[in-house]
Amino acid sequence: MKKRQVVTIHGGGSFIPQAGETMLEIIAAKEPSLERMRRSVDWKGEIQERLGDAYDVLAPRMPNADAPHYREWKLWFEKILPLFEEDALFVGHSLGGMFLAKYFSENPQRAHVPALFLVAPPYDSMRYGWELADVEALASHAGKVFIYHSKDDEVVPFGENEKFKAALPGAAFRELDDRGHFNKDDFPEIVGDIRSLH
């Protein structure tokens, strides 16, 4: 039996500069936390086991996660994109979700993306210089778009979800109450949505 590929794109690192910030300013302003220092496995590390043998979960590392540049991520993504099957599903967490939204809305040369799963994606408030100029185009470039956001997200404000709602009214929105920035190991909603397309 052929396995369906699920490609997961991670978010940025912990020390991502905002427009005009230096790394010294970021470090000086950052509050340390013991909780964030503890090793943990999040849902991206568990999703293969939760989906089962019918899926092949792939997790490419994107370049320079602590100082991400869209052109670098795009160049690497276009090098690895031919490795994926035409029916591959794409999942992006945080900045990875914003990257997938931007890439697939601006690059229609891949004839059809069956589904995109965007988890806590920023729309524009994070000021990465990755403007989502034509995100509405996802409606015609992707079969389905799922967007997940938690009302208590401490990294990407829940208001970003409203911007996606305005731009992509046909997307499926999963609004949750207590998932923070989705750094926990269990994420049954995305597992169910992925399985619903098999």
Span 141-190, pLDDT tens digits: 888 999 999 999 988 999 999 999 999 999 999 999 999 999 888 899 99
Consecutive H or E run containing 56: strand 55-58
Q: What is the per-residue pLDDT across 53-104, written as a single tens digit (0 to 9) for each?
A: 999 999 999 998 877 889 999 999 999 999 999 999 999 999 999 999 999 9
**Rounded CA gap, 11 and 181, in Å?**
11
Q: What is the per-residue pLDDT across 27-44, written as a single tens digit (0 to 9) for each?
A: 787 777 676 665 667 888
| Residue 39 pLDDT | 60
Consecutive H or E run containing 116: strand 113-119
- In three-state secondary structure terms, 35 is helix
Alpha helices in 23-149 (DSSP H): 23-29, 34-37, 43-51, 70-80, 95-106, 138-141
Residue pair 38/91 in contact by the 8 Å Cβ criterion: no
**Amino acid at residue number 144:** K
**Rounded CA gap, 113 and 141, in Å?**
6
Reported as a pLDDT band with limits 50, 70 and 90, residue 18 is low
**Rounded CA gap, 149 and 144, in Å?**
17
Q: At what angle do helices 95-106 and 70-80 cross, to 10 degrees?
A: 70
**Rounded CA gap, 167 and 107, in Å?**
17
Neighbours of 14 (CB within 10 A): 11
Mean pLDDT estimate for the chain: 87
**Amino acid at residue number 65:** A
| Residue 19 pLDDT | 63
- In three-state secondary structure terms, 3 is coil
Domains and CATH numbers, the chain: 4-196 (3.40.50.1820)
